[in-house]
Chains A and B, each alone.
Chain A
């Protein structure tokens, strides 16, 4: 009879990270596409709404004053889709360590930008979830917690990968 997988602390963090980080990534990417304009019908209205939302997001990216207008437009038109894909891959769990590492890098990058903007007293919107959200210390703390969870999840996933799977058959005695 198979033994059930032992629920240790590392595995619990990995599961929590998959659900939370993956879910938040999917939501963040989706929100950037459909908020604040969520007119989804007819088709030309959907196209316009998504384009308008992405141009608003590009403006929010530019307000961080790290990239210029073209760089902000590139980021705005790619990041939401990257977030959705990475989030889904984390939730599904396929090639988990790769996407966990990427998610951690993305979150760490966000944290650096948000912290920099906060320390420079920039009166800007976070741009995290589509709708206007002033950048405050709570934003920094929230992103820190998420980045920490993502890093722990990634580190533990690599550690667990080096151990034999709990369900693996014991090595046969020679």
Chain B
């Protein structure tokens, strides 16, 4: 086979593979109903916002920490507080992370006291420490008062928080969430699942694009 034939053959092969892939993978947004089972302590913004974002995350996941530290705050400042986005945090503790469910319980317990954001921040900021030692309680105690910790412990160590965490996990599985973080964006009845760490620059361009279609 001479070189020209080789080039033509590979070009045809590449074009065929590309078309096949595009056809196979072209999956725009899926249709979805409204968002349900929202824990008001884990939701930020107004329910009537045009965009709803459900963030499935695991406190022991490094990528979730990255998302929280780099994207979460500017998102809240620029989109949640201005009524453009309704942000819902969903717990999705992964089985391979030994302490993530414990961390989720403590964060939820703190959220019931209105200290959810503070709890999330201290857990993500100190992730490397408590994931080695398992000392989620000590990590939380470093920022909360003794009285607050007493209330948090009672709730966190009880059984009442397993059901809402399990509901979040079931909801995530309904969206085919299999890694964290996964952000599910709802807009005008369409659902856009986004897997992985999305920088704020990329996210805000997408959100602006969606909002321009209102």
Would you call B3 an interface residue if the criterion is a C-beta within 8 Å of the partner chain's C-beta atoms?
A: yes
Q: How far is the CA of A93 from the CA of B25 in the complex (A)?
A: 29
Known contacts A48-B202, A48-B205, A59-B66; is-contact A36 B10 (Cβ 8 Å) = no
Q: Which of B46-54, B146-154, B190-198 contacts A (4 or more CB under 8 A)?
A: B190-198
B195 interface neighbour in A45, A56, A91, Cβ under 8 Å: A56
B199: chain A residues at CB < 8 Å are: 55
B205: chain A residues at CB < 8 Å are: 48, 51
Asked whether, in the complex, the Cβ of A59 is within 8 Å of the Cβ of B197, the reply is: yes
Asked whether, in the complex, the Cβ of A37 is within 8 Å of the Cβ of B3, the reply is: no
Would you call A41 an interface residue if the criterion is a C-beta within 8 Å of the partner chain's C-beta atoms?
A: yes
A51: chain B residues at CB < 8 Å are: 198, 202, 205
Would you call B22 an interface residue if the criterion is a C-beta within 8 Å of the partner chain's C-beta atoms?
A: yes
Asked whether, in the complex, the Cβ of A39 is within 8 Å of the Cβ of B6, the reply is: no
Query: What is the CB-to-nearest-CB distance from B130 to chain A, in angstroms, rounded to a whole number?
Result: 15
Task: With a 10 A CB-CB cut-off, give which of B27, B195, B206 has the most chain A CB atoms.
Answer: B195
Would you call A53 an interface residue if the criterion is a C-beta within 8 Å of the partner chain's C-beta atoms?
A: yes
Q: Which residue of B lies closest to A125 (CB)?
A: B63
Q: How far is the CA of A81 from the CA of B25 in the complex (A)?
A: 20
Asked whether, in the complex, the Cβ of B196 is within 8 Å of the Cβ of A52, the reply is: yes
Known contacts A37-B194, A40-B27; is-contact A48 B10 (Cβ 8 Å) = no
Q: How far is the CA of A53 from the CA of B29 in the complex (A)?
A: 17
B10 interface neighbour in A34, A49, A52, A91, Cβ under 8 Å: A91
Known contacts A44-B209, A48-B205; is-contact A38 B196 (Cβ 8 Å) = no
Asked whether, in the complex, the Cβ of B196 is within 8 Å of the Cβ of A37, the reply is: yes
Q: Which residue of B lies closest to A34 (CB)?
A: B25
Smallest CB-CB A-B distances: 9 pairs: A56-B196, A36-B195, A51-B202, A48-B206, A59-B197, A40-B26, A38-B25, A55-B199, A41-B28
Write the residues of chain B forming the contact surface with A, with a CB cutoff of 8 angstroms. 3, 6-7, 10, 14, 21-22, 25-29, 62-63, 66, 179, 192-199, 202, 205-206, 209
Q: Besides A37-B195, A49-B194, 10 other CB < 8 A contacts? A: A44-B206, A45-B29, A48-B209, A51-B198, A52-B196, A55-B197, A55-B198, A91-B10, A92-B6, A92-B10
